[in-house]
Chains A and B, each alone.
Chain A
Amino acid sequence: MELIGYSCSYIPVEILAATELRPYRLLHGEVNLSKQGEKLVRVDACPMVKSNLSYIMNNQDKFRALVGSTGCDMSRRMFDVVSELTDIPVYVINNPRTDRVQIFNDEIDWLIKQLEHLSGKKFSDDLIAQETEKWENAREHLRQIDEKRGANPSLVSTTNFHKAVMNYYQGNITDKIEITEEISNKPRVYLLGSAITYESNQILKLLEKELRIVGDYNCGLSRFLNIRIGDKTLNGIKDVYYNQPSCIFKRPNNKFFEFIQNEIKKLDCIGIVAWTLDYCDIYEYELQKIETAFNLPVLRIKSDFSFQNLSQLRTRIGAFAEMLCSKT
């Protein structure tokens, strides 16, 4: 099945699926892909953007279309590069940073028109309802796994959870993944930051040797589980996607911090892992605030996917875990 790639948590996957293309979240992040991307953009571009760019260029024939948003400037411009260099139809919607719901709704309407034209199908109410049901069921299944992750003690590792959600992101929602349970009493931490990519499972594994990530606000992990669509209409979809827990790029972004505060409390976290990619403006600028906003110890990990100093990282994670244990 041909793919329809997309880049942002605000893009309703249900609408993409209505085209009968497989929605494929652009979540690649890997050192070789990133290096390839440097032929097309500068070295100081986000490594995930570089990786996604390379992936698209290497797999042009797989993508029937691409859908982006203005949530992240580099990501938006990535689509500009793709437009210049390929014939893949690209649709970038305005994802307002400020409270402009009208713009969002209009842009979703516009996107639907484009996708109807692309697919040659009319997106009827029934079709929308069907797709919504499908994807909502997929999310519900993964929510149940996520609940086990957040249970006390935690029953599911994020390392394994990540493997499960990858299917969702890659549009494979028919296969139901069963996850092996592993109880853990390791220090409970919350993961924030730049997206965890398909190729980043190793960092989760490294972290969870000493810690247990019981919750996250991450575009490559469980963030999409906040989408709960009860009203399976187009308006219902728009409403839920627009009003999902606020992204850090929103202005002002105090609601993001309020949401995280509540989540951390709910999940009994005693520490935070702030994972940022090099040149990820959206998160890098907020790190100092993250360190003070939640009254919890924060472990900062910065990466370009090269993972050159793994032993140093192991030591830091170990020390962080020890520190958290000594506080409990």
Chain B
Amino acid sequence: MFENLAPKKIDLKEWSRQFRSLDTDFINKFFYYKNNDWGRYLFPPAIFMVYGARQLKHLKLDNSLASLRVWGFSFNESERLFRAKQSGKKVIATMGDLGTVPIIVMAFPDCIPFYPDCTWWTPFFNESNVLLDRASEMGVPEASCFVRSALAAFDKKAYFPKPDLLFASTGASCDDYSCIMQMVGNLGYDIIWLEMPFRRHTAKYFVGDKYKTTNQGLEYPERFEDYLVTEYKKVWAKMVELTGINDLELLRENIKKTNRLRRLVENIKNLTYEVEIVPFPALEMMVIEFGNLYGYADFDEWLDICEMVYETIKERTRKGIGVLKPDAIPIAWVMPTADPILLNLVEDLGGRVVATEYVINQALAQIEEQGDPFNALARSFLNASLIGSTEERVRRITEKVEQGRVRGVIITNMLGASHCSMETRLIEKMLSKVPVLSLDVPSPLGITEQLKTRIAAFMETLR
């Protein structure tokens, strides 16, 4: 479906027109939780716009069926979580760790993990300060990470159902979110706290600790694995208590399934970022990358969607066609942008994203399938972007800069977010072989002409 259309990014109205050509039986083929009554999700962007996602009026999205599934599925997530609860599934909120706890949760049948963290995009997709204003009323400082939306979402109870369990990971990560999580606890939610250790890499003057290396080449003291194993066993125990099921084989199976998705996404990224003509836009790629965290609350369906995405990209690559001009300028993007429109904007101005550091390295890494699953998860998590040094975090970008595969870097910060304020200058320095543009993402509807001019000027310098 739509394969005969030349790939391009289209706006909401064009998508509505394109959607008309689909017959109802075809639309009804795609549903989540194996429920084709309320579980359908293949709808054009206009539908989500009608229900409040105002930015869809301004965004341009890929015109493939795969992209339609990506958007329909991801925008449908809020309803999906409520439906999960209604249909007797357990809904488990996991906060802060970005990628590992859901793997344990999903090992249990009918248990659906989700990240309230992902509501940080809601104000931007809705072009609305409703959640941010509510967070301010609750005492969150204005100059802080947009993830403060999550606190308002917990307060309002209108974005996801009351979770059956709530795991919050704190420790060596950003303080904004640690404070948000505490405030969620203050609302009366029962939180199971997990500790994330600081991944201290070795130094020539260190002695004593035995070090190991993750599969992404990051060093850590061996005993830190045990610290994490203790946390993951705590998660496991809570899940056993909740479900009455205790079968480690399920966890092993789920690790394998998770690895399938991660491999698939890695292939998608490698192909998209390497070929001459960009087959898939950066905005969809960001959504795909974040899908690794928990499959947007239906892992199996999300895996299927990513397989379709991969086929689409392969087909476009085979045909030598894509969504951007061949001379699009390769750039690296550091920090996921809270405002999705910036990705559209940069592509419209002639850029193409070829490398990303979206604070979720831990959700991209493969997990060992042999041996103790908890240790395997711990080793995988120790790849996490924010628990170590800045140099480690941007190492893969640095390599691409050194190799000349990136002509510029864009860093999207948030004013007041703790790690942004401390890391950005270092990152600029580390990547200074190429021009670096560091932006503060403004509040919803805050992108000014001045900001657009800055980005345009930056792209010009890269040309």
Indicate if A touches B (C-beta under 8 A): yes
Interface residues, chain A, with chain B CB atoms under 8 Å away: 40-46, 49, 70, 72-74, 76-78, 80-81, 83-84, 89-90, 92, 94, 96-98, 100, 102-103, 106, 110, 113-114, 117-118, 249, 251-253, 279, 281-282, 284-289
Which of A83, A94, A103, A113 has the most B CB atoms < 10 Å from its CB?
Answer: A94
| Distance between Cα atoms of A252 and B390 in the complex (Å) | 28
Asked if A287 and B139 sit within 8 Å, CB to CB, the answer is yes
Nearest opposing residue in chain A for B207, CB measure: A117
Q: Flag the segment in B319-327, B366-374, B411-419 that touches A.
A: B411-419
Contact of B391 among A84, A113, A252, A253 (CB under 8 A): A84
How far, in Å, is A42 (CB) from chain B's closest CB? 4
- Which 9 pairs show the lowest CB-CB distances between chains A and B? A288-B139, A285-B179, A77-B422, A113-B208, A45-B421, A281-B175, A73-B175, A42-B421, A98-B193
Nearest opposing residue in chain B for A111, CB measure: B208
Residues from chain A with Cβ under 8 Å of B200 in the complex: 92, 94
Asked if A78 and B422 sit within 8 Å, CB to CB, the answer is yes
| Distance between Cα atoms of A46 and B176 in the complex (Å) | 13
How far, in Å, is B226 (CB) from chain A's closest CB? 9
How far, in Å, is B433 (CB) from chain A's closest CB? 16
| Distance between Cα atoms of A90 and B172 in the complex (Å) | 17
Asked if B182 and A94 sit within 8 Å, CB to CB, the answer is no
Interface residues, chain B, with chain A CB atoms under 8 Å away: 138-141, 143-144, 168, 170-176, 178-183, 185-186, 191, 193-195, 197-198, 200, 203, 205-209, 221, 223, 227, 230, 389-391, 413, 415-416, 418-426, 429
Contact of A97 among B143, B195, B420 (CB under 8 A): B195
- A-B residue pairs in contact (CB < 8 Å), sample of 18: A42-B421, A70-B172, A73-B422, A74-B418, A80-B423, A81-B422, A84-B391, A84-B429, A94-B200, A100-B227, A110-B209, A117-B207, A117-B208, A251-B170, A251-B191, A281-B144, A285-B179, A289-B186
| Distance between Cα atoms of A277 and B171 in the complex (Å) | 21
Nearest opposing residue in chain B for A257, CB measure: B186
Residues from chain A with Cβ under 8 Å of B415 in the complex: 44
How far, in Å, is A294 (CB) from chain B's closest CB? 15
Nearest opposing residue in chain A for B196, CB measure: A97
Asked if B223 and A282 sit within 8 Å, CB to CB, the answer is no
| Distance between Cα atoms of A90 and B389 in the complex (Å) | 13
Nearest opposing residue in chain A for B140, CB measure: A285
| Distance between Cα atoms of A280 and B206 in the complex (Å) | 31
Residues from chain A with Cβ under 8 Å of B208 in the complex: 110, 113-114, 117
Nearest opposing residue in chain B for A290, CB measure: B139
**B interface, over-half SS:** mixed
- Known: A70-B171, A77-B390, A114-B206; 17 extra A-B contacts, CB below 8 A, are A42-B413, A43-B421, A44-B415, A70-B198, A80-B390, A80-B422, A84-B390, A92-B200, A94-B171, A97-B170, A98-B194, A98-B195, A103-B197, A113-B208, A281-B178, A285-B182, A285-B183
Residues from chain A with Cβ under 8 Å of B426 in the complex: 41, 80-81, 84
How far, in Å, is B141 (CB) from chain A's closest CB? 5
Residues from chain A with Cβ under 8 Å of B209 in the complex: 110
Asked if A282 and B179 sit within 8 Å, CB to CB, the answer is yes
How far, in Å, is A248 (CB) from chain B's closest CB? 9
Asked if A41 and B421 sit within 8 Å, CB to CB, the answer is yes
Asked if A74 and B191 sit within 8 Å, CB to CB, the answer is no
Residues from chain B with Cβ under 8 Å of A44 in the complex: 143, 415-416, 420-421
Residues from chain A with Cβ under 8 Å of B179 in the complex: 281-282, 284-286
Residues from chain B with Cβ under 8 Å of A285 in the complex: 139-141, 144, 176, 179-180, 182-183
| Distance between Cα atoms of A92 and B209 in the complex (Å) | 14
Residues from chain A with Cβ under 8 Å of B195 in the complex: 96-98, 100, 103
CB within 8 Å for A251 and B178 given contacts A40-B425, A114-B208: yes
